Structure 1
Amino acid sequence: MTARKENQAAGNLYLVPVPIGNLGDITLRALEVLSSVELIAAEDTRTTSFLLNHHGIAYQELISYHKFNERARINLLIDHLRSGKDLAVVSDAGTPALSDPASILVDAAIEEDIPVIALPGASALLPALTASGLNDGPFLFLGFLPTKAKHRSQFLNQIKASPHPIVLYEAPHRIEKLMCELQQLLGDRKVCLAREITKLHEEYIRGTLTELSEPGRIKAKGEFVVVIDKAPEANQPNTQQIEQLVTLLKQEGISISSATKILMQATGIKRNQAYRLLLDKEEEASE
């Protein structure tokens, strides 16, 4: 990379979301940025050219920037920014650097003290989550699951134990296999599949993993956003049942040490809590 000229400010790196289907889902600010920057780096130049022409954007220069060339493009793009010129990065659809190329470029820009400006806008993630019926606040986003067995297993374990809903992306040719895999791991947990979001055939498929893993149940067309319900809470001890068991143990004259072990095993409560309950019952009886 060339050295930055003394006192010369770097250009801005803009991360510009683009529509995920409906061409109207682009912000005025995004159009303004795309029309003003000296260079646009696009995941697919044909798709981006179509979008820009649709909105009448007379762009200055457009080059490809995707997962197969993103490392090779880094020096070129950073040099462009260091020369004081602005750069906009766009993906095929949605927000750059979110399960799409650009995260490597962002890291490199930060390392060079180059301003990174992320515009809000279109993404498949939030519409799928909010319309799923499974959203209760916090959630875990995992993007596309790894294909290698070791890494995939680690992600699947996260899904199994997550106390929050999980959001995944999946390709149409792998969606049925994923449903079967999740059903074997999670049982009959609730799930919502969102496909073709903002497009003519937008669809939300809701049900259990057992239902949606049936052959032919899912029309495997379009990119999928998969929203999985959170892990079920462990059965909480019933207070009334615990009280009854404490009373019975005391009536049987079982020692407090043995009664504590029985109470822990029967209810799942901790030793200190079991001991305290038995001790309180003993004190009540002696009053």
Structure 2
Amino acid sequence: MARTVRGAKVLITGAASGMGRSYAERAVAEGAAAVTLWDRDASALARTAEALGQAARGRTLVRSEVVDLGEMGAIAKHAQKVRNDLGAPDILINNAGIVRGNRYFWETDNGDDTRATMRVNALAPMYVAREFLPGMIADAYRAKRIVNIASAAGTLGNPRMAAYAASKAALIGWSDSLRVELAQAGHTNVKVTTVTPSYIATGMFAGATGPLLAPILEPDVVVDRVWRAMLRGEPLVELPRTVRLSRALRALLPTRVFDVVVGGGFGVYRSMQGFTGRAR
């Protein structure tokens, strides 16, 4: 793929605010042909679409659709609309995600917490990708990209975010498997990038504290790193680099030693105690 997304069709979920909006702004700034924004927050989505439309000055078609990714039927309906109007996207960024409270798992509600978290964070990216993959694969002479925004929480357990960690672990497993499947099947035009950042200063994790050696990440730094990795077709982005260190220590150390050294000493297991952030 080129060094920019100029001329590409881009679809971003969770695009009304936070990181999703930042990815959309980057796409417009680089001259994407069309940017489709999906989010369930109608008012925030309208504001973002208006601002992006003004920034595009007619060079980029900006489309917005109110989509509740917790409803699998809604995904199919809106994906069909995108295919009819634009065809399959060149770049799909599965960015939408939710996190609920900072309670222990047995204090949560299976419907409002566990089911909703698994649907939006784990199932929705699979359903969205499945809707567009046949078209992306068929356009074999054009580079395609799928970016799945997971989390460092999916690489190791963390108290007070059990369902969230489970959803991101599922996303990581599926995302990397999809990458290997595409390569094995010879569909080399479609590259998958899995992203596993620690906490990002978007408001989603307000009140959470960055563990030792893993400070709260600045959004613009994350966007730039993910964007460049996506264009190059890199398989994995770990931010900060100490996420890789924690994975290595988890594999090397006995579990109870890891709990003391990393979970306790690095402060990972205490990072959600003060969480007060929004639920999306």
Same fold (TM over 0.5): no
- Structure with the higher fraction of residues in helix conformation: 2
TM-score after normalising by structure 1: 0.35
- Structure 1 or 2, whichever has the larger Rg, is 1
